[in-house]
Chains A and B, each alone.
Chain A
């Protein structure tokens, strides 16, 4: 069952390489991603048996896929994101659509593997696999500076993951059972120095991926230069890999080191949050604004994780999902505007509400969720996150609280510039966005409000993970 999450996208991706007809390629891709989504929903509610096979006997590593609450919520997010992205960006995909979609599906396969892997070496394997198709996607179809920017991103994350590999092996050779399962690695007998080193090695990989200040420099450029569909994958799902890594591997494996360094990392995260928020205020390019706002949100989640307190963890588990949905919605709206008018500068936008009221309403909806207003999904998560920060350190909570104000400033500022004001000439020319994109946006907005008002299913989904992580 769980193997299907990897196999379906993988096999479809291979099939797509031979489908030359663009329309057919698109239909196949949409269909399989929807099937994957269906599977994800099924697994989220019914659960699934672990897939457990020996993989490389000599190293005693296993091909173990395991779906607990944390994995479920992320495969659900991945499952929702991919069909949404493919449907919403149908019109601005490049000419060789089959290869483009094929690479996207390879990415999906890798991401599913990352979230489901229960074996450290397997995790590493998928972690790298998810990256490689993105490298090609962005380098081939991105903006003007694409090659250099993507290369920076690739080298940066590659270094991080190699260091993580060293960390994994360091743990592995100090275990008694000599395998890569989390439960084994957890009992590795390391000296304090070794533990600290391994902690740093893992942490760097995740911090680069998230990205955490000061390792974030690759991100705004990469988001700006990648083709929009890839940017959506990066910001909605891929950055979650870093947070996922922290929850799944870092906190359970190094509880002591995490506790010792908590204050430092929380401070770093909050500095990053404020830094990103201030930069976001100054941005005129709507894509860069969303990118920096994303850094701020991720930083906040990371801060909550290192408070190592149950409420914060619960908040992050919800917020992982919510942030993915919100940022996806914002990207799709920004993409529709850019596709139709060709502008990204918010100064030249204005009057969207007059030209395209539906789109404007949708934008406002996602923007409110971005500020984490009550009734939206992000409120639930961020409330819990602030709660945990407050318990951890009052100053941390105070500074993080400033970021909420800042996020309101830049988001509302964006709304004001884009949706209201004088109707600008480029906006006048806008047509109604195509039906499919609208439907996707509406579904996403429904998810935003439904999970905002009634978040209990998400709590239920993640309850088991919470227990495990906290107890251990």
Chain B
């Protein structure tokens, strides 16, 4: 509750701050302070202190898991803005507007981590999506950005329509929007519930860019300004996953709908499309777009696993994946072009930056001592624990190997090819900021349980 109210208020404050405060640095500082306040407010609720204690008629329930996920999302956004603040203000004329949009999105995220009602799900998704459409098109003079925005908006609206239809059908069958209503024992209208579930499933797949609903992803990620792609591919996507899991892991599973077939199909096709297409990309940005589809395939494992372990796993996966992606995108922002040739010889000219990029890429590929390894580990473990699909895991491992191929292409370009990297002027502090991310990834790679200590106590 705290997070929803405070983030909405902060959004409004940010919006009007550009009237009274000039200077992009100050705006960034205000945004960071705002995020800090938001984190404190959220932590306060975890310890039982409310700004407003309002009876939501059980439309929202605040579980410890959801609140903790909130904290992680806010923390990630903090890191994101801390690193990318200067870059954000380079796009468009009003950086404060973008910060305001971030706070609105975080409001949407807070709804998505606590909804208990399909209507709240719908509202959360919309609050999250609409700022994303705006951010995609924020580079008004770039045709690509405009194209991406219109594409994203049209397809996004369409998928929202599908989501709504699904919700309506469920309502028709069960007579309630509430998530806990469908119960195992009760007979519902079979066709309507299954059709509704499939539609909701499809719409959620669209939001997290899982195949075969992924077609918007490469174009949108590629067209949007790189800073915002970084946010879209990490925090926004991970929030979608939390919502996805919340819907499908409890009562809806009890409806007896057969997950055995449809979910593995989605997982495999997501992994296939993401990994295989990423291999053939020449542009690193597009490669990362496809790799983010592939990573979504791995995150879907948590949905299939549905256990405490899977829930822990998705938190770890989301944090690690977001950190690593924010890192790689932050390096990519500093490149003059997105092609892989831009990275040639980076290892010689910028040893520290190249090393950090290596850590990020290794983490994405899931190599030990980086956090990515344990993230993948949790996913595999949860799915094997669910007792289903050893074959699924083996296939996934083959795809994980393929992913090493394209991530290491970049490492090879940095270290083993001579050349002059097409990189902009860097100030030292930028590299140091990135090393904070790398250190976090390495710590999580050796002691992943640090992340969960706060989840239970």
Residues of A within 8 A of B (CB): 56-59, 124-125, 128-129, 132, 136, 139-140, 146-147, 151, 154-155, 158-159, 162-163, 165-166, 169-170, 172-173, 194, 197, 201
Contacting A173 at CB < 8 Å: which of B373, B384, B415? Answer: B384
Closest to B366 in A: A162
Residue from A132, A159, A197 in contact with B397 in the complex, judged by beta carbons closer than 8 Å: A159
14 further contact pairs, Cβ within 8 A, besides A128-B368, A129-B369, A151-B405: A56-B448, A58-B312, A124-B368, A125-B369, A128-B367, A136-B415, A146-B416, A147-B412, A151-B412, A158-B404, A169-B380, A170-B390, A172-B381, A173-B385
**For window 343-394 of chain B, which residues contact chain A by CB distance below 8 Å?**
362, 367-369, 373-374, 377, 380-381, 384-385, 390, 393-394
Nearest CB in chain B: distance from A317 CB, A: 28
Residue of B nearest to A58 (CB): B449
A139, B416: Cβ atoms under 8 Å? yes
Top 10 nearest A-B pairs by Cβ distance?
A162-B397, A159-B401, A128-B368, A58-B449, A125-B368, A147-B416, A56-B449, A173-B385, A169-B381, A139-B416
Kindly supply a per-residue 1/0 record for chain B positions 393-419, scoring 1 wherever the CB is within 8 Å of any chain A CB and 0 otherwise: 110011011001100100010011000
Shortest Cβ distance from residue A83 to the other chain B in the assembled complex, whole angstroms: 26
Question: Is B16 close to A, CB under 8 A?
Answer: no
A166:B449 contact, CB within 8 angstroms: no
Residues from chain B with Cβ under 8 Å of A151 in the complex: 405, 408, 412
Chief secondary structure at chain B's binding surface? helix
Which residues of B come within 8 Å of A, CB atoms? 312, 362, 367-369, 373-374, 377, 380-381, 384-385, 390, 393-394, 397-398, 400-401, 404-405, 408, 412, 415-416, 447-449, 452
Contact A163 B397 (CB under 8 A): yes
| Residue numbers in A under 8 Å from B405 (CB-CB) | 151, 155
The smallest C-beta distance from B225 to any residue of chain A, in angstroms, reads 33
A173 touches B401 (CB 8 A): no
Residues of A within 8 A of B368 (CB): 124-125, 128-129
What is the CA–CA distance of A139 and B381 in the complex, to the nearest angstrom? 33
- Are A166 and B397 interface neighbours, CB within 8 A? yes
Please judge, given known A-B contacts A155-B404, A162-B400, A197-B390, whether A139 and B369 are in contact too, CB under 8 Å.
Answer: no
Contacts of B447 in A (CB 8 A): 56
Nearest CB in chain A: distance from B313 CB, A: 11
Minimal Cβ-Cβ distance residue in B for A56: B449
- Say whether B416 contacts A140, CB under 8 Å: yes
CB distance from A117 to the nearest CB of B (A): 12
Tell which of B369, B384, B448, B449 touches A170, judged by Cβ atoms closer than 8 Å.
Answer: B384
Distance (whole angstroms) from the CB of A172 to the closest CB of chain B: 8
A176 to chain B, nearest CB (A): 14
In the bound assembly, the distance between CA atoms of A155 and B369 in angstroms comes to 18
**Complex Cα gap A147–B452 (Å):** 40
List chain A residues, Cβ under 8 A from B416. 139-140, 146-147
Residue of A nearest to B391 (CB): A197
CA of A128 to CA of B400 in the docked complex: distance in angstroms?
14
Contacts of A166 in B (CB 8 A): 380, 384, 390, 393-394, 397
Contact of A154 among B312, B408, B415 (CB under 8 A): B408
The residue in chain A whose Cβ has the minimal distance to the Cβ of B405 is A155
Give which listed residue, A129, A146, A158, A165, contacts B377 with CB less than 8 A: A165
How far apart sit A149 and B161, CA to CA, in the bound complex (Å)? 51
A140–B415 CB distance below 8 A: yes
Please name 25 pairs of A and B residues whose Cβ atoms are closer than 8 Å in the assembled complex, sorted by A.
A56-B448, A57-B449, A58-B449, A125-B368, A125-B373, A128-B367, A136-B415, A139-B416, A140-B415, A147-B416, A151-B412, A155-B405, A159-B398, A162-B401, A163-B397, A165-B377, A165-B380, A165-B397, A166-B380, A169-B377, A170-B384, A173-B381, A194-B390, A197-B390, A201-B394
